[in-house]
Structure 1
Amino acid sequence: MKQNFTVRQGALDGVEAFLSVARHRNFRKAAAELGVTPSAISQAVRLLEARIGAALFIRTTRSVGLTEAGERFLSRAKPAFEELVAAREVARDLGQRPTGLLRLSVPRAIVPLLLEPLLASFHEAYPEVEVEISVSKEVVDLAAEGFDAGIRMGQLIDADMVAVPLTPPFRLVVVGSPAYFARHPPPRETGDLRQHACLRWRRSSGAIAPWSFQSMDQTTEIVVAGPLIASDFPTMLGAAIEGIGLAQLPEPMVADAITTGRLIQVLDPVAPTLPGVFLCYPGRHQVMPKLRAFIDHVKDQRTREAK
């Protein structure tokens, strides 16, 4: 049968006093070391002995010695207490300066576009922070999975998250390769997409995302069909460049391919605008210095790019 083991409230009370007395073999010196009165030290040790159920010290008017129970308690309590002190110092260090492991949950498409430039400059500024990038198509629970922060599209961020913009709003644009358009006339309106091979994106929920379009203030979603379904944007981008079909992708992702002529943009007047990409983290948690440093670095980089 499974047993539950817990540390009783106050179980560690008096241990530091005991260790100090054992070290000095003197109650007054222990009191001076800990900055309390000798009577407070005596009281703490008596309460500890009462909880343990055994005398730990042999006291005389001239000296203080350890009983056998005290010797055994000292041999186990001293290294354990030193480990607790060390653990406290490590935790305190993490809470006072940028150091430690910063875990980020990131979509794969974001890594080359946004993170690689940021990580190089961040590492140079904060060499004591290790950054772990977990690439996933799933929208994970950041707190439950032990992540400090995540990078997400604005429309996928929960209301209880704090969001820091990484990019300005951008459009979703429809693109195809010159080879594809050599075989198919470019669509002039959204209804023409029924005659085209359209590359589709499967969301982490399992549903296939429709294509979205915006005319004035009205947003329209269209169910398209085609030869390929992918769970990430880079795969769709590569397929579009190879001429497999049309793809609807974030404009920053396809900008270089459009500039170099590998892709051609169509249906530009009805391209919808998305909020952008954000660094997000649980707002109910204290922001550790390592995450605060990364947030400030992101903001600083955005300010420089805007100038």
Structure 2
Amino acid sequence: MRPLRLDSLELFEDVVRCGGFRAAALARGVSSSAISQSISVLEEALGIRLLNRTTRSVAPTEAGEQLLEQLRPALHHIRTAIDDLNQLRERPSGTVRVNAPGPAADHVLCPLTFEFMKVYPDVNIEIVSDAAIIDIVEQGFDAGVRFGNQLDQDMIALPLGPALRYAIVASPDYLRRRGRPDAPRDLLQHDCIRRRFPGGTMVTWKFEKAGEQVEITPHGRLTLSSAHQELQAALAGSGVAHLFEDYVRDHVEQGRVVELLSEWKQRLPSWYLYYPSRRHTSAAMRAFLEYIRNQRWCPTNT
């Protein structure tokens, strides 16, 4: 057996977790060929194939699955031991990886992170914007951001920002052409800018006024997949948009779009940062969590 490099075992775990050489290489900031070569050397050293490779996917073999089953706890213990030494440093270091929907990343997580990094210059932050519901542990994230009602029971959650509300907006040009809706169901006669979730379902629009709740499935010629695209479409006069207030506040104040049905706004829970309750928390992650707890919106500070 050829000499075995322990770092190649971690590379192997990364390739399986990321779903391929390219994704693992992007996460590590190296070339795909370098990752592939390291795995080939590992397989040669072990004398057994660990991965089944096709042009479209990479998946562990039976031997690879067996190795991973024992490898993951071992790597976790190694990382924990290294991070325990990190506690002795005057300043926390390391990397915090967070998965968050675009709106949460744009308006809450990114501004908070920028300030956090000024206070903790040795901590690296990676934010991945993704609206899909994922297993953050399986995907290698330290934390995720979702609404409170989307969290699993074995997760610890911290409020991330104040309560949220949607705004219905359209450009002055669109309203001159199509008129202004007086009630939520009037929107069914308008050209609404629709949003499709990553899983394929369409976003419904919910309203509330004096205890009355209304939910509609909007109709329209344009279907998009991000809030930024919806805002661009509304500014261009393409229809009526349904967006978080944070996206449209400045544009409403400057008259680029007009807010509609403001008395029908439904109050939503805040975003929550969540992380596993049964997982070792690194020094960098602990510093990040403490920074969030010290924000004005956290219950401990109210």
The alpha carbon displacement at 1:218 in A equals: 4.2
Check the 8 A contact 1:139/1:204 in 2, yes or no: no
Residue 228 of structure 1 aligns to which amino acid in structure 2?
A: L
Distance in 1 between residues matched to 2:260 and 2:297, nearest whole Å: 32
**Structure 1 vs Structure 2: percent identity of aligned residues?**
34
Larger CA deviation: 131-140 vs 212-221: 212-221
Q: Which residue of 2 aligns with 1:37?
A: none
Code of the aligned partner of 2:161: T
Distance 1:95 1:230 in 2: 46
Tell me the residue number matched to 1:122: 116
1:201 aligns with 2:195: yes
CA apart distance, 1:183: 0.9
Structure 2 letter corresponding to 1:93: L
Equivalence for 1:93: 85
Amino acid at match of 1:270: W
TM-score, normalisation: structure 2: 0.67
Aligned alpha-carbon RMSD (Å)? 2.5
Shift of 1:111: 3.0
Query: What is aligned with 1:187?
Result: 181
The answer for the alignment partner of 1:165 in structure 2 is 159
Alpha-carbon distance in structure 1 between the residues aligned to 2:239 and 2:85: 53
Counterpart position of 2:99: 105
* Counterpart code for 1:123: M
Deviations, residues 82-128 of structure 1 (Å, cap 9, x unaligned): xxxx9775242246663211111122233332233222221111111
Structure 1 87/140 Cα, relative in aligned 2: closer, same or farther at 3 Å? closer
Aligned to 1:235: 229
Residue in structure 1 matched with residue 27 of structure 2 by the alignment: none
Note closer, same or farther for the CA distance 1:125–1:191 as it changes in structure 2 (3 Å cut). same
Q: Check 1:290–1:255 CA distance in 2 against 1; reply closer, same or farther (3 A cut).
A: same
Distance in 1, Cα, partners of 2:202 & 2:174: 23
2:267 corresponds to which residue?
273
Task: Kindly indicate whether the alpha-carbon contact (under 8 Å) linking 2:171 and 2:257 is maintained by their aligned counterparts in 1.
Answer: yes
Question: In the aligned structure 2, how far is the partner of 1:299 from the partner of 1:220?
Answer: 35
Q: Tell me the TM-score normalized by structure 1.
A: 0.66
CA–CA distance in 1 between the matches of 2:99 and 2:284? 15
Tell me whether 1:287 sits opposite 2:276 in the alignment: no
Read off the aligned partner of 2:165 and give its amino acid letter: R
Counterparts in 2 of 1:246-265, with a 5 A limit? 246-265=240-259
Unaligned runs of at least 5 residues, structure 2: 1-77
Name the residue aligned to 1:300. Answer: 294
Match of 2:296, SS state, is: helix
Aligned mates of 2:143, 2:117 — CA distance in 1? 17
Letter in 2 for 1:128: D
Residue 169 of structure 2 contacts residue 260 of structure 2 at CA under 8 Å; is this kept in 1?
yes
Question: Structure 1 residues 159 and 197, CA, compared in 2 at 3 Å: closer, same or farther?
Answer: farther
What is the total number of aligned residue pairs between the two structures? 222
Letter in 2 for 1:189: A
Q: Is the 8 A contact 1:202 1:231 kept in 2?
A: yes
Contact 1:174–1:247 (Cα < 8 Å) also in 2: yes
Larger radius of gyration between Structure 1 and Structure 2: 1
* Structure 1 stretches of at least 4 aligned residues deviating more than 6 Å after TM superposition: none
Output the CA distance in 2 between the equivalents of 1:248 and 1:176. Answer: 9
Q: Matched residues in 2 for 1:215 and 1:94: separation?
A: 52
Change (3 A) 1:242 1:159: farther
Q: Is the 8 A contact 1:96 1:289 kept in 2?
A: no
**Do the aligned partners of residues 266 and 230 (structure 1) sit closer, same or farther apart at CA in structure 2, a change above 3 Å counting?**
same
Measured after TM superposition, the shift of residue 185 of structure 1 is 0.9
Aligned residue in 2 for 1:149? 143
SS in 2 for 1:249: strand
Can you give the 5+ residue segments of structure 1 that lack an aligned partner in the other structure?
Answer: 1-85
